Structure 1
Amino acid sequence: MNWDDALIIYDKIVDACNGFERKGKKMIYTSSNGYMFTLLNKDAEIGIRLPKEKAAKFMEDYDTGPYYSHGAKMKDYVLVPESLWGELGLMVAYFEQSFAYVDSLPSK
């Protein structure tokens, strides 16, 4: 998928969520409590940050792996397969879980 189409989908997911908004113009992300928790990288891939146990289950359930941005493995992030992007309710649930996770961490 091209980056512009991925951005439209990412924005649609974020717009359906409660409590946060998309940030950035070139580096697209969401953040709270001093932590980023979702990203859209330059390769048009979406990553979400989850607690270790939930990240492991997500990767197993959806046959995916860790998330990389600019060649670096992002700690606690999982790569969201494109096959899930159209499932708005599911994506909103995961984005909101990610938001709740970073809000549970000590403030930066």
Structure 2
Amino acid sequence: MAKSEASEKTLQRYSALLAAVGLEQKGKNMTYTSMNGNMYSFVAKEGYVAIRLSEGDKQEFMDRYNAGPAISYGATMRGYVHVPDSVLKKTDELMEYMKKSHEFAKTLKPKPTKKK
């Protein structure tokens, strides 16, 4: 699938957001962040950014930005919110939620690695 101009802009904004917060960007085909084997943000194949938040922060984000849950391959991603493009442009505002997402990821049970 060829990257569209919109998805390039999304990737640029996502990369800038991660750099502003000081988080490591991972992935070649799918850009994401993870900690202890738990992914906590990603750029969906549909071209939007999703972040994983605690239940309270997720509801606050959805109410504040009129956002919905992240949906990938037709399934709702439990714990993730779809970051509207209008919000992705506001790096300073979104930094607060990326930091919360990172802190929440620290509380998740580590997943075992598959590497030997």
TM-score, normalised to structure 1, is: 0.91
Runs of 4+ in 1 over 4 A off after TM superposition: none
Q: Which amino acid aligns with 2:51?
A: I
2:93 to 84, 90, 95: 90
What's the counterpart of residue 81 of structure 1? 84
How many positions carry a matched residue from both structures? 107
Asked whether the equivalents of residues 41 and 70 of structure 1 are also in contact (C-alpha less than 8 Å), the reply is: no
What's the counterpart of residue 17 of structure 1? 21
CA offsets 1:41-66 (integer angstroms, 9 cap, x no match): 11111111001111112111111110
Quote the sequence identity (%). Answer: 34
Q: Secondary structure at the match of 1:2?
A: helix
> Equivalents in 1 of 2:42, 2:74: separation in Å?
14
Q: Secondary structure at the match of 1:73?
A: strand
Q: Which amino acid aligns with 1:97?
A: K
Structure possessing the higher radius of gyration over alpha carbons:
2
What's the counterpart of residue 107 of structure 2? 104
Q: Does 1:38 align with 2:41?
A: yes
What's the counterpart of residue 114 of structure 2? none
Report the alpha carbon displacement of residue 81 of structure 1 after superposing the two structures with TM: 1.0
> Equivalents in 2 of 1:71, 1:29: separation in Å?
19
Q: Which runs of 5+ in 1 are unaligned?
A: none
> Equivalents in 2 of 1:9, 1:77: separation in Å?
18
> Equivalents in 2 of 1:40, 1:70: separation in Å?
13
> Equivalents in 1 of 2:88, 2:36: separation in Å?
26
> Equivalents in 2 of 1:73, 1:38: separation in Å?
14
What is the CA RMSD across the aligned residues, in angstroms? Answer: 1.3
Q: Which amino acid aligns with 1:105?
A: L
Q: Which amino acid aligns with 2:103?
A: A
